[in-house]
Amino acid sequence: MHQKEKSKFLWNLVQSILVIFLIVLVGSIIMDINKIQGSAKIINYAGIVRGGTQRLVKLEIARKPNDALMEELDTIIRDLKNGEGTTRLVKIHDRDFRSYITNQEIMWNQLKEEVLDTRLKGAENTNILELSEEYFQMANETVKAAEVYAEKFATKLKNTEIILAVNVASIILLLVYQTVAAIILNHKNKELNKLAFIDINTGLPNKGCCDKFLYEHGILSSDEIDACIMFDLNNLKVVNDNFGHKAGDALIMNFANILRRTATEKVFVGRYGGDEFIAILLDTSKEEVEALLKNIDDNIKEFSKEENGTTISYAAGYELSSEYKDCTLQILMDKADKKMYADKAEKKRNNMLNKL
* pLDDT averaged over 10-residue windows placed end to end, the chain, 356 residues: 70 83 84 80 90 91 91 92 86 89 93 90 89 92 90 84 86 85 81 75 90 88 91 88 87 92 91 92 93 93 76 91 89 93 87 67
Domain residues of the chain, as ranges? 3-187, 207-355
State how far the Cα of 43 lies from the Cα of 150, in Å rounded to an integer. Answer: 9
Q: Which helix (H) or strand (E) holds 101?
A: helix 95-121
* pLDDT for res 6: 75
Residue 99, CA distances (Å) to 87, 133, 139 in order: 21, 19, 12
* pLDDT for res 192: 66
First vs last Cα of the chain: how many Å apart? 70
* pLDDT for res 194: 67
* pLDDT for res 297: 92
State how far the Cα of 12 lies from the Cα of 6, in Å rounded to an integer. Answer: 10
* pLDDT for res 100: 92
Q: Which helix (H) or strand (E) holds 276?
A: strand 276-281
Per the CB < 8 A criterion, the answer to whether 209 and 314 are in contact is: no
Sheet of 276-281: strands edge to edge? 267-273, 276-281, 227-233, 314-320
Integer-rounded Cα radius of gyration of the chain: 48
Instruction: Give me the DSSP letters along 27-77.
Output: HHHHHHHHHHHHHHHHHHHHHHHHHHHHHHHHHHHTT---HHHHHHHHHHH
State how far the Cα of 143 lies from the Cα of 166, in Å rounded to an integer. Answer: 35
Helix spans in 217-244 (H): 236-243
Per the CB < 8 A criterion, the answer to whether 115 and 128 are in contact is: yes
Per the prediction, the chain carries an average pLDDT of: 87
pLDDT in tens, 104-126: 999 999 999 999 898 888 888 89
Query: Out of 1.20.1050.10, 1.10.287.990, 3.40.309.10, 3.30.70.270, which CATH number does the structure's domain 207-355 have?
Result: 3.30.70.270
Q: Angle of helix 245-262 relative to helix 236-243, nearest 10 degrees? A: 140
Per the CB < 8 A criterion, the answer to whether 188 and 78 are in contact is: no
* pLDDT for res 175: 84
pLDDT in tens, 209-250: 999 999 988 888 888 999 999 999 988 888 888 888 888 888
* pLDDT for res 221: 84
Q: What is the largest CA-CA distance in the chain?
A: 155
Query: Out of 1.10.8, 1.20.1420, 3.30.450, 1.10.3470, which CATH number does the structure's domain 3-187 have?
Result: 1.20.1420
Give me the count of residues in the chain: 356
State how far the Cα of 226 lies from the Cα of 324, in Å rounded to an integer. Answer: 11
